[in-house]
Chains A and B, each alone.
Chain A
């Protein structure tokens, strides 16, 4: 171990390109995945900006915005769990927005309870906004969607699925991806989503102790007629669904593969030339009968250290760049699992580079010392 490290430290200038290449690969993977996750976090806003611990919906729901109607009676199933403090109903689905001056737009209607502690109410709905929504036929949209929906602001009228609605307020910071969010009460939402009076989309639940959510969910999962998720699960599921569905994952895969390839080439070349520079020294050891695997093992140790140092440098840099992106309005999400995957993938790459660099040891021949 110490010889690999000593050499690495003493010859650090020689190993630097390899370290940087590994670091760059890790950075590229983590940052790109983080950016996409951030982008697709828009799809999980209804989960992330509300306070429910558990979401219960139709079987095999793929994403929060793809919920299908379920019977309101499902409420009882969640409510009967001993860990559950309270439950409430929630509606969400796509509908059609008819602009006042013609033309239609896809929109995402969200109907939730509207009291202070409501589980399905996004936190951006302030008290005077949600109080106004109790009037039937009123809605709140995000200010960023005004242009897209063809309206000028509060007081404007439009039609959703043939029902006349009036805008009573605006939120900020709730950008949308597929269709602008339309927030309203449960009673307003039913006609907009064209569901029967006893139909809802989700049952939301709050546990006495949020830590029990996973237990409740796993118990509910035994039932085939519903699907249940903790809110972090459902949030991730929604994002991953859109990430894969939109094939953004493929673009990501390409970029990551290219980054890894470049990283692998530079790293293995670095290790190769570093080893080749000591061929005569290794040859003396070979002449003295020291087995080749000792030297191969040392090269592999070096590749591991190059990998660890590279990843170690990359992670703080990723966080720094994420902060910069945040400052400019982009969104980079860096959950621990993403950082771990980026680290493991690049470490594996470094080890493969090491394997590839082993071929330099093939040239180690004691006969070379005779000239």
Chain B
């Protein structure tokens, strides 16, 4: 198991007790056959506590997205075990896993993936209505609460075409948070944004973790995210590197 460098040791975890939220053990995943085979995730073990912001870094092609997908129940590992909230998610049936994701998991992917025909508010409402079976009234109330927190209430009636990139990504975060998830998986949520907006996004995810107890796993390239993380993992060629932060320093330079 990798005990990754906690570069920001002054962060206090809520309630002081740290509960293991998700663990991966001995994870392997390779693509292709024979000569063409690439091992995207190679014997990785990982452990994230509840309410933590975990940051996953590493060069392009190192397997970050693949690992995120395995941990989040989207991509089956070739071998290894993922335990989330005490449940082994890869021995579940497809249906059970889908239900698990419905109850506990949210996602933010690169590119905002918002319905071009729906307003910011509707993007959130659709998750509340279709996911939780909320009435349109409840859904609207919840959506407006979240949009308010995200500073988007005034733009609730606008469609993606009328929103800036940062606003769109905040709507995507709102869509992830409206179900009050136990996990939020974010694959490069900031890479399309300038730092001012990227910081805003990370800040929101951090308060989701620290204030709501959501376990957040962020894949990011930007070294400026590092100070916001409770825990950092570094992947290279599908392997988790645990050298007390040296690789991170080497790749991303001196910490701010």
Are the C-beta atoms of A370 and B66 separated by less than 8 Å? yes
Chain A residue numbers with a CB within 8 Å of B122 are: 2-3, 6
Q: Which of A3, A6, A288, A294 contacts B101 (CB 8 A)?
A: A288
Which among A10, A285, A366 is the interface contact of B74 at CB below 8 angstroms? A366
CB contacts under 8 Å to A, within B115-152, are 115-119, 122, 126-127, 130-131, 136
Q: Is the CB of A285 within 8 A of B127?
A: yes
A29–B80 Cα distance when bound, in Å, is 62
Distance between Cα atoms of A11 and B116 in the complex (Å): 9
Asked if B105 contacts A288 (CB within 8 A), the reply is yes
Given contacts A3-B122, A288-B102, A289-B102, contact A281 B179 (CB under 8 A): no
**B228 in the interface (beta carbon within 8 A):** no
- Complex interface: chain B residues within 8 A of A7 (CB): 115, 117-118
- Among listed B11-19, B45-53, B106-114, interface-contacting one: B106-114
Asked whether A289 lies within 8 Å of B103 as measured between CB atoms, the reply is yes
Bound CA–CA A202/B75 (angstroms): 81
When chains A and B are docked, how far (Å) is the Cα of A281 from the Cα of B111?
Answer: 10
Report the separation of the CA atoms of residues A281 and B99 in the bound assembly, to the nearest whole angstrom.
19
A3 to B122, CA, bound (A): 8
A2-B136, A7-B117, A11-B117 in contact; A284/B98 too (CB < 8 A)? no
The residue of chain B having its C-beta at the shortest distance from the C-beta of A279 within the complex is: B113
Bound CA span A345–B90, Å: 48
- Contact between A288 and B179 (Cβ–Cβ < 8 Å)? yes
Q: Give the shortest distance, in Å, between B176 (CB) and chain A (any CB).
A: 8
Residues on A with beta carbons closer than 8 Å to the beta carbon of B103 = 289
How far does the alpha carbon of A291 sit from the alpha carbon of B131 in the complex, in Å?
8
| Interface SS of A by simple majority | helix
A11 to B160, CA, bound (A): 13
B252 within 8 A of A: no
Q: How far is the CB of B170 from chain A (nearest CB, A)?
A: 15
Expressed in whole angstroms, the Cα–Cα distance for A285 and B101 within the complex equals 10
| CB–CB A370/B74 < 8 A | yes
Q: Is the CB of A288 within 8 A of B117?
A: no
A224 and B176 alpha carbons, distance in the complex (Å): 74
Q: Give the interface residue-count category, chain A.
A: 20 to 34
Contact A280 B113 (CB under 8 A): yes
Docked pose: A290 CA to B181 CA in angstroms: 13
Q: A289 contacts B131, CB within 8 Å?
A: yes
Name the CB-closest residue of A to B72. A287
- Specify which chain A residues have a CB less than 8 angstroms from the CB of B127 in the assembled complex: 285, 288, 290
Closest A residue to B126 using CB positions: A3
For residue A225, CB closer than 8 A to chain B, the reply is no
> What residues of chain B lie closer than 8 Å to A294, measured between beta carbons?
130
Interchain CB contact under 8 A, B130 and A285: yes
Query: Pick the contact of B115 from A281, A288, A370 — CB < 8 Å?
Result: A281
For the complex, is B182 an interface residue (Cβ under 8 Å from A)?
no
List which A243-300 residues lie within 8 A (CB) of chain B: 278, 280-281, 283-285, 287-291, 294
**Measured between alpha carbons, how far is A365 from B122 in the docked complex, in Å?**
22
Q: Return the CB mask of A345-371 against B: 1 if under 8 Å, else 0.
A: 000000000000000000000110110
Q: Are B187 and A284 in contact (CB under 8 A)?
A: no
Interface string of A145-174 (1 = CB under 8 A from B): 000000000000000000000000000000
| Given A3-B126, A284-B107, A288-B106: A369 touches B98 (CB 8 Å cut-off) | no
- Shortest distance from the beta carbon of B219 to any chain A beta carbon, whole Å: 11
Q: Which residues of A contact B100 (CB under 8 A)?
A: 289
Interface centre among B74, B107, B117 (most CB of A within 10 A): B117
Render B161-181 as a binary contact track against A, CB cut-off 8 A, 1 for contact.
Answer: 000000000000001100100
Decide yes or no: A287 and B101 within 8 Å by CB, A6-B117, A370-B65, A370-B66 being known contacts: yes
Q: Which of A3, A10, A281, A289 contacts B113 (CB 8 A)?
A: A281
B241 proximal to A (CB < 8 A)? no
What residues on B are CB-neighbors of A288 within 8 Å? 101-102, 105-107, 127, 131, 176, 179
Find B98's partner among A6, A10, A281, A289 (CB 8 Å cutoff): A289
CB atoms of B65 and A280 under 8 A apart: no
A285 and B126 contact, CB distance less than 8 A:
yes
Q: A3-B122, A287-B101 are in contact. List 7 more A-B contacts (CB 8 A).
A: A3-B126, A284-B175, A285-B126, A289-B100, A290-B102, A290-B130, A294-B130
Which residues of A come within 8 Å of B, CB atoms?
2-3, 6-7, 10-11, 278, 280-281, 283-285, 287-291, 294, 366-367, 369-370
* 5 A-B pairs closest in CB distance: A289-B102, A289-B101, A10-B117, A7-B117, A294-B130
